[in-house]
Amino acid sequence: MNKAEFIWMDGTFVPWDEANVHILTHTLHYGNGVFEGTRAYQTQKGLAIFKLREHTTRLLNSAKITMITPNFDLETLEQAQIELLRKNHFKSNVYLRPLIFLGYGVMGLYHVSAPVRTAIAAWEWGTYLGEEGLEKGIRVKISSFVRNPVKSTMGKAKAVANYLNSQMAKFEAKDAGYDEALLLDDDGFIAEGSGECFFIIRDGVLISPPNDNSLESITQGMVLELARAKGIPVERRRVTRDEVYMADEAFFTGTAAEVTPIRNVDGRVIGNGTRGTMTKELQEAYFDVVYGRNPAYEHLLTYI
Ligand code: PMP
């Protein structure tokens, strides 16, 4: 990976190679930790973090859900992310990874007396699902792994433990020659991708499943807002796999995945087998926002 110079750990900047933890770090053993994935783009006015407030708020909400008492408040965490980007002098687009975790000192499942720690890493990172995917679309497999059922897992938290489910689905899809996995919920309706929310377009209507069994995706929210502003009809409702196969267009959204078109699902060609026209329009609108080219949404950017 692209190393940076510093990582922020519990209030201080630590050289990248020294940002280490003890092997008995609680989160490493029992999986209770929460994180974010946030992007900063090189705009005309320099590097800018997209939706810093929303991502940092979600981080603290994730901690609340999983019963971790954060050791820093919202403003401090926001400032730390800004300072981190300033100190690292990045030349291209950046991915930020704040992590609140339980440190070394207590073992056993009763976690409440484990020390809470916070780290923020940032590094230069390009497209998540490939530059070609952004243009031509990716191939997706509906996973044999059902999305963690809401009866026993809390998918609104961006919790470390939830990502075992994502990893198994991702591995299965990649191993079968696909680019990404799409997971169903335990009733058989589309839940989300391994790290993305999902959209289809049918007869000019943009459809995305409700967030019943998915993260409340910040990118999904942005794309829905852009679509509504363009007068595109939007539906939030359950979607079945056969409806996906019949869709005119499909795409994923996520901070890492941005707006990635889907050209094939389970061997069925979606639309004309490439990026659809509405997908392209929404993708361009999204990039205009994050790169600071749309003044109406510039307030969503935090310039470094
Ligand atoms: N679902 C999951 C499981 C994810 O990990 C992500 C990435 N954070 C998303 C959806 C997309 O969320 P966002 O647009 O906020 O990055």
pLDDT at 206: 98
What the chain holds in terms of domains, given with CATH numbers, is 6-124 (3.30.470.10), 131-290 (3.20.10.10)
d(CA 182, CA 35): 22
Say whether the ipTM exceeds 0.95.
Answer: yes
Series of mean pLDDT values for 10-residue runs along the chain (304 residues): 96 98 98 98 98 98 98 98 97 98 97 97 94 95 97 96 98 98 98 98 98 97 98 98 98 98 98 97 98 98 98
CB 180 within 8 A of CB 173: yes
**C-alpha separations of 219 from 24, 70, 145, 193 in Å:** 35, 25, 24, 13
d(CA 54, CA 243): 32
Distance 121 CA to ligand 1 centre (A): 18
pLDDT at 250: 98
Test site for ligand 1: of 125, 150, 196, 216, most ligand atoms within 8 A of the Cβ: 196
Phi, psi at 272, each rounded to 5°: -95, 20
